[in-house]
Each structure stands twice: as structure tokens, then as C-alpha cells.
Amino acid sequence: MNYYNILNLKKEPFSNSPEPEFLFQLSQYSDCLQKLELAVRLRRGINVVIGDIGTGKTTLCRKLIQNFSSPSTDSAEAEIETHLLLDPAFNSAAEFLQTVSLMLGIKDLNEESKSEWHLKEKIKDYLFDKGVDEKRIVVLIIDEGQKIPENCLEILREFLNYETNKFKLLQIIIFAQKEFQTVLEKKANLFDRVNLLFHIRPLNFKQMKAMINYRLSVARDFEKSLSLFSWGGFLAIYLATGGYPRKVVFLCHQIVLKMIIRGKNIAGWFLVRSCRDEMESPLYRKVGWALAGLLMIIIAGISVSAITLQGINVTANKKLKLVSADPVVSKVKNDEVHEVKIPDNLGKISMTKRRTIWWTLNNIYGDTNPWIMDEILKVNPFLKNNDKIMIGTKITLPSIPADDKPIKQGDIVVSLESGQDLEKMYNIFRNNPDEPKLPRLAFLSFWNKKKGLEFAVVIDKKFKDIKSTEQAVGQLPPEIAAGAKIISQWDADTVFFNRRAMRY
């Protein structure tokens, strides 16, 4: 059934195919695309984009290819040649090399030339011809990068050795799920060469709402019309999907189909709920939606009580006020205001041979967006080139509070080491990931008025109860478990500086 005309649509708005035209240009997407294109044009080598399942990596990948295929208006820019590898799960390095050779158009491979050495030489010759003689940029884009076998990662590292005195001959972009980062970190000789490591995150409510409306506008050829969803409908979609674009698109497709069947023009809370119920178990429906309904009531109560949802000014609780624009905690008592100021900076970090500024910022702030970099440059005006920082240079890291707390009241965290010296604690964190017996770790920095500024090396996971926390500690090596601390009480005024959400 063609429902386009019934809902004033001219094309499918919620297709499950990665259509680049429907990519909503959120700041993180446009930032990622710009950085990748710049890295390719500067021929920086290897770049990696990490994201959970359904965060939009494949759509972003297709959009990037589309951008590269568009003719440049600058005649001085080199032409870009892209090759997309969809499934890198190879049985051997030779099979991987043969596939890359065929993708590049290297044909007539006899049995002798199918050896690994001959394949590498043919690929190298091809890249020299294209990059030096024809002045073209060759890009290998790999989707589902978490499937790359370890021996094929070694081949990619060898590809990076194909270079002139000025640039790399092959540009590599890998889109992968989160587990690939752990694999990459264990291969220090490849990880050190990563030019850009970018994390794609789920959407917040505002971003999800804008993305849905954008898709509808594209499907209507940007003709103005009312949204198909009420505010309650949008909220129900967000609660059901967690802001993961793929889940959002799939659920919205189901909703639109039900709207056609029922003759509805607007999808509200209960219609969205009915669509989600059909995809979940009875237990989830009873428990999950009961909690969601309770949240609706709480939000409604918050609105009546004049509590702003932005988390900036809480007027219902007059004892404590957090002002995010100027990071100061103000305690109000007997109409007197006593301000306790958050430190201007977290401390200094020394740059070492194996330490890049991009990766350092990502570890400490949980992101490397342009705004964070601008703040870094404000307090370090001597930095002229972010890509070339001399070993031993000390960089001041400003206090940039996270907009949304990665750890909520009631969450439990396991700390392996903690202290108030930024560089000391960060060095401990960077030395730990190579320990195979340890789980994945995170660097946590936070401040409250009681203890001041503190840094902790923690297990990269939140816990909901003491039992599961103790089980996690019990799996640690004895010498590490002996010094582990369980943090379960968080002051209401705690300010976090790492904005990367920890998972349960």
C-alpha cells in the first residue's frame, strides 16, 4: 500500500536503507564528516569512527562517499577515489589482500602473483601510480570494522608504510562498533598511527525530535506541514528507543503504518505505545511502560512546580542551585549566598611520544568537539598546530563541566585508583589498558564542595546494586582488587567533566 499521499508524503521517510539524503546534519555528524574529509585531503592516513549499533555509522559512511564523489569547485584539489569494503571478516591475510587488489582494479592475478608478497607489491605500485603520477587520493573505507581479523589489521598497518616524504598513499577510514576500540588499543603500533578517533553517540530528545521532523520534511520535498507526532508521541518514541537512530527509524515506520490502518493524522503517546508493545515481551510492556507512564506524571509535576528541565535552575529545591553557565555552586541559607567556585582548570598534562592531544581530550572530556578544542586554545595560546606538539610540552586543561551527568544518584562505580594530581592519575590510566586481566577502564574527573577536584581510574561500567559490583571486583586480579574502592554516594552538587555516558 502506498501511504505517501495519504499523509502528504512524496517518498518513504523511514526507510531502513542508509539513504544519505535523510542524514540529519547534527553537530556531531557534520563535525565528523568535516574532520574526515579534511584528514583525507591532507592524506593523514588512518581514521576511525566508533559507535554503538544503530547510531548512524553506515548512513554517515554513505554520506561521506557521496561527498567525495561530488566534483570539487577548486581545480587545485586532488580527485578522490573511494573503495568501500562492507564485510572485512576474512579467513586469511591473503584473502584480504586479494579482495583489496580486485577492488582497486588489479586484475590478471596468476597463482604466483597471489602470494602475499606479490599482492602487497602490486597494491604498492598501484598506489604510487595513482598518488604520485596521477595525483589522485585513494581511500579505502571499511564498514563493520569490528570484524577485521588481527592479521588483517597488521596488513592495514603495513599499508600505512606506503608513503612519500609528504603524505600517505592510502587513506583508510574504519567505521566500527565499540569493541573495536579495545582491539585497537591493544595494537599499539597501529593505534599510535590513528589520526582521528571519533565517537558517534545516541541522540538526545531534542535531536531525535529534530531528526524525525527533518526526515518528514525531506519526504515532503520540504513543503511545510504539521508533524505526524504529538509531544507525547515524541517522548514515547525516545523512551522506547533511547535515541538510537536505527531504532527510531524502525519504530517510526511501524507507527506510520498503524496511522494509515487507523486513519490517524497524529501519533500520540498511546499509539506509539501500542506499536512498541507489539515488538516487546509482555513483561517489558507491563514494567517498562508503567515506569514510562510514571515518568510522564513526574515530568508533568515538574512543569507545574516550575522546575526547568534544562537542569540549570531548580526552584522547587531552594537549598541548592547549580549555575552551569558560570560553574559556581551557590548554597542559600537565611537569604545569604555563599559561593564555592569550581577551579578554572583541571591541571596540566605533559605530551609524550605516544600521546596525542585528540586522544587525551577524548579520554578526559569524553569528546573532542570543536568547542572543547576552542577552550583548550584559549588557555594554551602558544599552541599553533594541534597536530605537531613537541614532546614535553605541558598543556593546561580547563574545567569544562559536562551538560549531562554521566553518573546519576544511586549509580555505583568501582575506582581502582584515585587522587588529586591530574598528570599522575592520567599516567596510571594510560598504563593500565595494556593489562590483559583488567576490564576496560575510564578516566573520571569530578568536583564537589566537600572534597574539591578529584580524578579516578574506574571500571568503564556503572552498577545498580552492591552484589553485581562485588562480583565485578572479585573478577579483578587480587593485587588490584585489594585497592579497589566502591563509590556509591554522590553529592548532589557533584560536577563531572567527562561527558561520556557509562553503561550498565
Query: Which distant-in-sequence residues (6+ apart) come within 8 Å of 138 by Cβ?
Result: 81, 83, 104, 127, 130, 131, 169, 170, 171
The answer to which of 66-70, 326-330, 453-457 has the lowest mean pLDDT is: 326-330
Residue 193 burial by Cβ neighbours in a 10 Å radius (0-12, 13-18, 19+):
middle
pLDDT at 315: 32
The CA distances from residue 503 to 55, 60, 258, 329, 440, in Å, are: 15, 24, 33, 27, 12
Whether residue 309 is predicted with pLDDT greater than 60 in this model: the reply is no
User: E-strand spans in 69-186?
Assistant: 80-85, 137-142, 170-176
Q: Which run of H or E residues covers position 16?
A: none
What's the pLDDT score for residue 463? 86
pLDDT at 201 over 60: yes
Q: How confident is the model at residue 154 (pLDDT cuts 50, 70, 90)?
A: very high
Look at residue 171 in the predicted model and tell me its pLDDT.
95
Between 463 and 9, residue with greater pLDDT:
463
Q: How many CB atoms lie within 10 A of CB 17?
A: 10
For the stretch 416-451, pLDDT in tens is 888 899 999 898 888 764 455 667 888 899 988 888
Cell of 111: 597463482
**Which position has the higher pLDDT, 503 or 99?**
99
Q: What is the mean pLDDT of residues 473-486?
A: 79
Average pLDDT over residues 181-205: 89
Predicted local confidence at residue 321, as pLDDT: 32
pLDDT per residue over 97-134, tens digit each? 999 998 888 876 666 556 888 888 899 999 999 988 88
- pLDDT score for 295: 55
Domain range summary for the chain, segments of one domain joined by +: 27-200, 205-304, 349-504
Which residue type does 50 have? I
The mean pLDDT of the chain is 79
Predicted confidence (pLDDT) per residue in 8-44, tens digit: 677 778 877 777 777 777 788 888 999 999 999 999 9
pTM of the shown model: 0.56
* pLDDT for the residue 324: 35
Cα separation, 231 vs 281, whole angstroms: 25
Are the CB atoms for 175 and 90 separated by under 8 Å? no
Give CATH for domain 349-504: 3.30.70.1070
Instruction: Summarize pLDDT for 389-416 with one digit per residue, the tens.
Output: 788 888 999 998 887 778 887 788 888 8
Q: Note the pLDDT of residue 278.
A: 60
Is beta strand 194-200 parallel, antiparallel or unpaired with respect to 485-487? Answer: unpaired
- Predicted pLDDT of residue 333: 43
| Banded model confidence at residue 173, pLDDT cuts 50, 70, 90 | very high
* Distance in angstroms (rounded) separating the CA atoms of residues 348 and 486: 27
pLDDT digit string (tens) for 210-247?
Answer: 889 888 888 877 677 677 888 888 998 998 888 898 89
Determine which of 28-37, 139-148, 368-377 has the lowest per-residue pLDDT on average.
Answer: 368-377
pLDDT at residue 429 in the model: 85
261 or 423, greater pLDDT: 423
**What superfamily does domain 27-200 belong to in CATH?**
P-loop containing nucleotide triphosphate hydrolases (3.40.50.300)
The half-sphere exposure of 184 on its side-chain side, counting CA atoms within 13 A, is 27
> How far, in Å, are 446, 447, 483 from residue 453 at the CA level?
6, 4, 20
